[in-house]
Amino acid sequence: MPLFFRFSCLSSRENHLNHLVFKYNEHKNIGSLDPAFAKDLADIWATNQLFNGLVQMDNDMQVLPCIAKSWTISEDALRYTFTLRKDVKFHKHELFGKDSTRTVIAKDFEYSFKRLLDPKVASPGSWVLNKVKQFRTINDSIFEINLKQPFPAFLGLLTMKYCSVVPEEIVEHYNSDFRSNPIGTGPFKFKRWEENIKLVFRKNNNYFEKDKNGVSLPYLEAISITFLPDKQSEFLQFAQGNIDFISGLDASYKDEILTADGQLRNNYKENVNMIRGPYLNTEYLAFFMDADVTEIQSEYIRKAVNYGFDRKKMMIYLRNGIGIPANGGFIPKGLPGYNKNIGFNYQPAKAKTLVNKFKEETGIAHPEITLTTTSNYLSFCEYIQREIQKTGLQVNVDVIPAATLKDAKANGKLNMFRASWIADYPDAENYLSLYYSKNFAPNGPNYTHFKNDTFDQLYEQSFTETKTEKRKLLYSQMDSLVMQKAPVVVLFYDEVIRFTQKNIKGLGINPTNLLDIKHVKKAN
C-alpha cells in the first residue's frame, strides 16, 4: 500500500475518532523517542507515553509502583530489592517472534541500566546511576540495586524516563535508529513520525494499568503532536480549537488570555480551563563568589540587591501574576524543606543603607556591578536594574546568547548572571547541591563557588538521614545558611500553568511539569 494512502487513511480515522484523539503542539521539536536521551521536556513528554520504569511519580510527588509492584530497602539503606509484575508486555513487534511481544523480566532492567551507563551510547542520563555500586537479576521477577552510599532521593531518581525499560532485541536491531522506532511498555505505542511535521501514538490495548474502578488505561485512542515552531501560532491553533492543550505563558499571548492579576479573561472562560500549581523551578541571579571584584565580594552589596526591588510587583507587571514571588530560600515552594521566612523582602531604605555602608568602608564612591542575561529575561533584569539604581548602586545589563552564558557561568567568567534551576528529581537535595563546595563548576553545579563548612557537614549528614521530617529540617537549615550569605538573589518560584479545552478531563498538574495522558478523557 502506498505510504501516502496509508497516512491518508490514518488521518481519516483520526478525524472520525476526533473525540478520542488528544492533540497538542511541540514548538521545540522532539530530538529522540529513545528514553536514554530524554533530556529535554519535549522528549520527556513524548517518551512518558511510550515507556515505563520500575516506579513512577504521582501528581503529589509520591513514588508509586509501576513495573515493580513492590520493593524493600535494607536497614543500611544501601540495597533496594524490586519485585516485578508478571503482566507487563512490550509493544508488539515482529522481532519478538510468533507472539509479536513478550513479558518484561528483570534481565530487561539489567540490560537497560547497562545501556544507560555504556559510554558508546553516551546517554546524557548516565549520571542518574552515579551512586549505584551494582545491579543484578535475582530471577525473572526480582531485580536488585546496591548503592555506594545511602541516598534518600534514589527512588525519585528512578522515576526519570532515563530509567525506562527497553527490549534488548529491538534496540540491538535498530541501534541509533531506535530513536525513531521506539518499542516500550507504555499506555501508548508508536505509530508514525514525520519529523518536524507530525507524530502519532496509538492506544496500547495490552497496557497493564487500570484505574481505581478496574477500567483499563488509557481511555483515549490516540495522541497527535504537531510541530508549529512558535508559541503565537500554537496559541492561535488552541484558540481555534484545533489543539486540546497548551502549557506555559508566552509573552506573545499572555495579555490576550490573562488579566494583569493572572485570571482568565471573560472571552475565554466559556471554552477554556486553566490549571496552575507550583513548578520545581527557581529563577535567580547569582554572584560568582570568587570574582576579583570588591562589590561582588561584599555581603552589603549582595544583600542590598536582595532587598532593593519588589518581587510581587515584578511578577504582576512581567508575568501577569504567574509565579510565586521568592521571599523564601532557594528551595522552591512545593518541596519539603521550603521555608517562606528565610529569604528577603522589599526594603528599599535598608538596601540604600547597605550600599552606603559599602561606600564608607571601601571608599568606593560609585559602586557598580554588571548583570549578564539572555534576551528572554532582559525585561526582568531591566526592572531590577531600575529599582537597584535607586539605592546608589550602578547596575549594567549585558545581553549575550544562551549558549555563551551557559559556558561562561560554568567556567567562572561572569561576575553576576541570571539563571534558573529546574529539579532533575523531586528532592530538595537537588537544589542544595548547588552550594556544596565539592560541586564547584565546571565539575558540578556550584556556579557561585559558595563555600561554607557548616553547610557541607549538614549536606553530607542529610544522606544518612532516612527519616523524612528530620531530613526536611536539615534541608531548611542548609537553605537558611545560604540565604544568610546571599550568594544569590532568588527572584521567583515558577508555576506550571496549563490551558485546556473545556471537554478535556483528567489532565492533572504536577511540580515537575510531566505530561501524563493515560488518565485523560475527551468528551464529544
349/307 Cα distance (integer angstroms): 9
Q: How many CB atoms are located within 10 Å of the residue 463 CB?
A: 18
Through-space distance between the first and last CA atoms of the chain, rounded to whole angstroms: 32
Choose the most confident range, by mean pLDDT, from 15-19, 152-156, 203-207. 203-207
Q: Which residues are 311's β-sheet partners? A: none
Q: What's the per-residue H, E or C state across 265-331?
A: CHHHHCCEEEEEEEEEEEEEEEECCCCCCHHHHCHHHHHHHHHCCCHHHHHHHHHCCCCEECCCCCC
Closest CA to 494 of 509, 484, 504, 472: 509
The tens digit of pLDDT for each residue in 216-244 reads 999 999 999 999 988 899 999 999 999 99
Instruction: Check whether 253 has a pLDDT greater than 60.
Output: yes
Are 262 and 247 within 8 A, CB to CB?
no
What is the mean predicted confidence (pLDDT) over 171-192?
Answer: 97
Instruction: Check whether 1 has a pLDDT greater than 60.
Output: no
pLDDT of residue 17: 64
**What are the cell numbers at 151?**
541516598
Instruction: Check whether 5 has a pLDDT greater than 90.
Output: no
79/99 Cα distance (integer angstroms): 36
Mean pLDDT value across the chain: 93
Residues of the chain with pLDDT > 70, as a percent, come to 97
Q: What is the pTM of this model?
A: 0.84
What is the mean predicted confidence (pLDDT) over 254-265?
Answer: 90
User: Is cis: bond before 332, omega within 30 of 0?
Assistant: no
Residue 109 CA to its chain's centroid (Å): 24
Are 352 and 392 within 8 A, CB to CB?
yes
pLDDT of residue 251: 81
Q: Which residues are 147's β-sheet partners? A: 132
The tens digit of pLDDT for each residue in 18-76 reads 679 999 999 878 999 999 999 889 999 999 999 999 999 988 888 999 999 999 999 88
The tens digit of pLDDT for each residue in 109-147 reads 999 999 999 999 999 999 899 999 999 999 999 999 999
The tens digit of pLDDT for each residue in 348-369 reads 999 999 999 999 999 999 999 9
What is the mean predicted confidence (pLDDT) over 451-460?
Answer: 97
Length of the chain in terms of residues written: 524
* Confidence at 297, pLDDT banded by 50, 70, 90: very high
* Confidence at 334, pLDDT banded by 50, 70, 90: confident
Lowest mean pLDDT among 4-8, 244-248, 271-275: 4-8
What is the mean predicted confidence (pLDDT) over 305-312?
Answer: 97
pLDDT of residue 6: 43
DSSP designation for 511: T
